[in-house]
Amino acid sequence: MTPDAIVGLMAETIKVTLLVAAPMLIVGLVVGVLISLFQAVTQIQEMTLVFVPKIVAVLVTLVAALPWMIGMLINFTQNLFVNIPLYAR
């Protein structure tokens, strides 16, 4: 296996990882900013106020995006298994 093939495989792995994690991370970020804005406007400085909406939003996003995420991971894994003979050279 050449160094170029290893780098390409690593790049593909990182790309798939970022794509699979992105929906939940983005929703968590947006909900966190909105809650922080709400806290700043209302001057409610409760630390636990952020956690429940964030957890609920991330779980809803996970349930909504799970079929797409599983499809991406299955395609990546199938591609990896199909190309094992090329990697073993």
Residue entry with tokens 């939003």 = 57
Write down the pTM of the prediction. 0.81
Domain that holds residue 35: 3-87
Using one digit for the tens of pLDDT, what is the confidence trace for 30-43?
Answer: 999 999 999 889 88
Using one digit for the tens of pLDDT, what is the confidence trace for 4-29?
Answer: 988 999 999 999 999 999 999 999 99
**Domain total of the chain:** 1
Residues whose CB falls within 8 Å of the CB of residue 43, separated by 6 or more in sequence, listed in order = none
Residues 58 and 5 sit within 8 Å (Cβ to Cβ):
no
